[in-house]
Every structure is written in structure tokens, then in C-alpha cells.
Structure 1
């Protein structure tokens, strides 16, 4: 019999557990942050004084930006051979442009800020999925993504409720720095 002693299998199991915990926490906090602002974008635009037509125009343009930006950031990740570095770059730039929304008060500036914000934020999910899938595969569990992503759903649901309460007391603009 060619049985591998449990001592040799244990480091692989420990590594797999570590990878699952790291990505479960990453998804939890990532989606927690996403739910702070994402579902309330139209309310934010309404608070900024935009008409329903202007809000529709901005969200429509952003849908087009999503279609274009995801493959672009995928190509960037392939070129620099690092999904993780590309994801970090997108997260930093997205945070900077989210803060710029506080200072944009005219429709043109708001639209530009949202387009740039969306070009970075829309690619974060697919980049994180690629990084997590690759890491899980390398750790020996290519099918473990479901439980990891479940933590993102929990983070999103918790944050949506808390953000909704916060927004009802203050405003959507108050949550952008969060």
C-alpha cells in the first residue's frame, strides 16, 4: 500500500483551511463595503438634485462602462501576471474616486466621477473570484468557492440593513467616506 502518512497530509490541510479562512474574510468585508454604497447610488444621485432622467442616463452609461472595463482589467492582470496587484490597484483607485463624488455637484462632474469609479469597482468582483479560484485550486480544493462566497453574501446582507438604517437617519452622502 502506498498510503501517505497523516503527517505529510496535514500541512496541505492546514494550508487549505488558511486559504478558505482568508478568502471567506476577504469576501465578507469586500461585500460588506459594497453594500454600504452600491444599493443606494440612485438615492445618492437624487439627493444631489438630479432628475430621474439624469439618474437614468448616468446609470445607463455606467452599465456600458462595466461591459468595457471588466475585460480591460482582466487583460491588465494577465499582462502584469498578477490578479492580486490588479485588484489592489482597482480598490485603491475606486476608493479615491468614491471620495471625489462628495465634491462633484454638477451633472457632468458627477457623471465623469461615476464613470471612473465604476471602471475600477466593476472589475473587483471578477478579479477577486479569479484570485480566489486560483488560490483554492493551488491549495487542493477547486470546488470550495461556494462556502467562501457565502461569507460575501452574509456581509452584504448585514451591511445593507445597517447602511439603510444609517442612511434613513443621515444621508447617502454621509456613507461615502465609510
Structure 2
């Protein structure tokens, strides 16, 4: 039995989603997945600092995840499209993540940590793009893609509930326990992934669309080339790359920035809690907002909030103002992310939607994150976090300018409910997002 056959058999084991409500399955998965993030990302760089790593070393380790994402993200996405087994890939990656994270407890040596982070990142990077692709397919089958935020908000709820409890627990025990908490919660997310609503109708339709589009859209390189050939999509990716580079450079050292102000682990967790709680109503209202504005305009306005937030981080002498501005972070991120996922779905051909989400993640959370982590790590030991955040604010302003000048609203974005999995007419396909210029 060859490798391809074995893979197809494994993918077939996931079967149909169990349970009458696919939306509820998506909510549970997002809840548990982001709950697993709560003990990890707010505190892992504090752990690295406490075991003796420098800011530049922390930046290098943090850059491993986006480097792997840039190399592997589109491979996972294309594999899901070709094998038509998104849910099985989700099951595999969440299970592997829950096990591999425990390897961080086995070493404190810098180069060994790089190896562990590399292996860990191979399986964590594709989780969100594939989950989003499954969710969007489910919604598009019901002509309600604009309701993505209503499902995604459960991730914010999960994060909000767990992050203060994790902070309380870690402050009273040891930061090293964050890896155990992550492992347990990610394993629960793995169990929940079994019930994600990947319908046979959606899989059959993807197969039909791929066959109809012909050889030019088949395969890894052809699919990526087709997506990047859309100048509107390319302009969007460049703007998001810059924005995410700025955002990641800020986020990587945010706990350390607060810690240097004298903030405790509980205060750092509270800052994350405020942002997560404020995401909930924003995600809940995102579908309604997208019926009144294009996804591109929402992305632009949300990105503008990053400019203000980074300036407040840089200029605040105490944690108080930073805690207040965290409300803006939650609202801005929720609207930005909801609109960005829908925008990518709008401009991606139906048979390449998973690949489109993977390309978006590769540029934003891959390339942008690499630049942000490496650049931030290099600068933070030389100019300090406050000056780093001023530079990040300026970069965010540049991103907003590019969104205004180089990206035009996609015609489909005027009505999110109109996003459907069926292939558009050739004329519509030619004009779908092609009007943007660089």
C-alpha cells in the first residue's frame, strides 16, 4: 500500500460530522482551541526570560513559528484541498500539538529549544486556517459567510475565561506549568475537532469545482500562482504583512514591557483578559457590520486602531492606560480578523479557499511575524520596548495608507451572505478582486 493510499484511508476515517448542529461544533472547537492559547502565549516569553534568554534570543525562538508557517502553511492547506479531508488534518494537528508541547519541559538550552519550537510549529501552524476553512464552508453552504464572527467569538470567550485562571495558577505554582495546561486543553480541542461540520456535499463540490477549473489551478504551485496573480489580493497581502510585522513585534515583548513597569503575572493576564472580553461583542456584531460596510473598509478602520494603541503602549509610564486601551485592541482585532477572513474567501476561487486562507496566514502570521519577531528581537535590546512601539505605530500607519490606496473592495463584499461555494460565471470570475492596483 503506497503512502498516498494510506493518507486517503486516514482521511476517510473522520467520516461525517456527528450531531445535528454544525455551528455548535464550531463554537466548541474555537472555545477549546483558544482556551489552550490562554496559558501559553501571554506567558511563554516570560518563561523564556526567566530561564535566562535575552530579548534577541526570545525574538529568534518566536520567529521559528512563522518561519515554519511560511514554509509549511500552504503545503497543509493544499494537502487539505487535494485530499478533501480538512477535518482529519485538523484532528491530526491538534493531537500532535497537545503532545509535542511537553517537550519544552525537557530542556532549557537555546538551540534545543529552537528544535522543539520547530517541530511544535509544524503542527500548530495549520490549525486555524483549516478550522476557518471548515467553518466558512459550513456557512457558505447556508449563504451566511458574514456570520463567521458569531462562531469565532466563542474563541474569545474561551480565552477570556481561562487566561485569568491560568495567570492565578501560574503565579502560585510555576510558569513551567503553562505547557501542561496547554497540553490538556489542546487535547480537548482535538476531541472537539472530530465533530467539525465537514459535509460530504462540500467535499464533493470542491472536487467538482477543481475538475471544472482545469489543470491550471491544480497542484501546489499553480494554485499559489493563481492567487498571487490577483493584484487586489497581492496588495492586501503586502499591507497585512506590514501590519502584522508591527503587531507581532509589539505582542512578542508586551508581557516583558508590562513586567518592566512592575506589573505582576496577574496584571499581565488582566491585560489579555480585557482584550479578549472586548472581542466578544465585536465578533458577535461583525456579521451585522459587514452587511453595512465592505470587508475592505472594515479592515482599514480596524487597522487604524493599531496606530493609536501602539502609541499608548509606548508613551504610558504605568500599566493603567495600557489596561484601558486593551479594549480597543479587542474590538480592533475582532473586526479586522473577521473581515480579513471573509475578504480572503471572497477573492479566492471556490476550489482554493483553504489554500487562500493558508496564503493569508503565511503572509500575515508567517512572513509578517518573522519580520516582527526578528526585527523586534534585534531592536528591543538596543532601543527598548517604548521606542520599538513607536516604530510599530508608524509601520501600522503605512499599512493603513496601503489599504486605502492599493486595495479596492471586492464586489462580493457588499453582501457577505452572497458568498457561495458555487463557481461564479467566467465574467464575474475575471473581475473578482482584479481591479486593485499596486
TM range (shorter): 0.7 to 0.9
Deviation at 1:47, TM superposition (A): 2.9
Aligned to 1:85: 88
- For 1:86-105, list aligned pairs within 5 A: 86-105=89-108
The secondary structure found in structure 1 opposite 2:69 is helix
Deviations 1:135-168 (A, max 9, x none): 2333553332111001111111222222122221
Deviation at 1:25, TM superposition (A): 1.4
- Please tell me whether the aligned partners of residues 38 and 166 of structure 2 are also in contact (alpha carbons under 8 angstroms): yes
Unaligned ranges ≥5, structure 2: 1-18, 182-438
Aligned to 1:3: none
Deviations 1:84-132 (A, max 9, x none): 1111111111122101111122111111111121221122111110111
Larger radius of gyration: 2
User: Which TM-score applies when normalising by structure 2?
Assistant: 0.35
User: Which TM-score applies when normalising by structure 1?
Assistant: 0.82
Unaligned ranges ≥5, structure 1: 1-13
Moved more, 55-64 or 103-112: 55-64
- Please tell me whether the aligned partners of residues 40 and 178 of structure 2 are also in contact (alpha carbons under 8 angstroms): yes
The secondary structure found in structure 2 opposite 1:102 is helix
Aligned to 2:157: 154
- Please tell me whether the aligned partners of residues 64 and 117 of structure 2 are also in contact (alpha carbons under 8 angstroms): no
Deviation at 1:53, TM superposition (A): 2.2
> How far apart in 1 are the matches of 2:125 and 2:42?
14
Deviation at 1:55, TM superposition (A): 1.2
**Equivalent residue for 2:129, pick from 122, 126, 130:** 126
Moved more, 96-105 or 131-140: 131-140
**Equivalent residue for 2:47, pick from 44, 47, 51:** 44
Q: Which one has more relative contact order, counting CA pairs under 8 Å at least 6 apart?
A: 1
- Please tell me whether the aligned partners of residues 104 and 113 of structure 1 are also in contact (alpha carbons under 8 angstroms): no
- Please tell me whether the aligned partners of residues 32 and 158 of structure 1 are also in contact (alpha carbons under 8 angstroms): yes
> How far apart in 2 are the matches of 1:105 and 1:70?
28
Deviation at 1:82, TM superposition (A): 0.8
- Please tell me whether the aligned partners of residues 69 and 120 of structure 1 are also in contact (alpha carbons under 8 angstroms): no
Moved more, 42-51 or 134-143: 134-143
The size of the alignment, in residue pairs, is: 163
Aligned to 1:171: 174
Aligned to 2:185: none
**Equivalent residue for 1:137, pick from 115, 136, 140:** 140
Aligned to 1:11: none
Runs of 4+ in 1 over 4 A off after TM superposition: none
- Please tell me whether the aligned partners of residues 37 and 172 of structure 1 are also in contact (alpha carbons under 8 angstroms): no
**Equivalent residue for 1:61, pick from 52, 61, 64:** 64
> How far apart in 2 are the matches of 1:120 and 1:112?
13
Aligned to 1:76: 79
> How far apart in 2 are the matches of 1:48 and 1:172?
10
The secondary structure found in structure 2 opposite 1:38 is coil
> How far apart in 2 are the matches of 1:118 and 1:39?
17
> How far apart in 2 are the matches of 1:32 and 1:100?
20
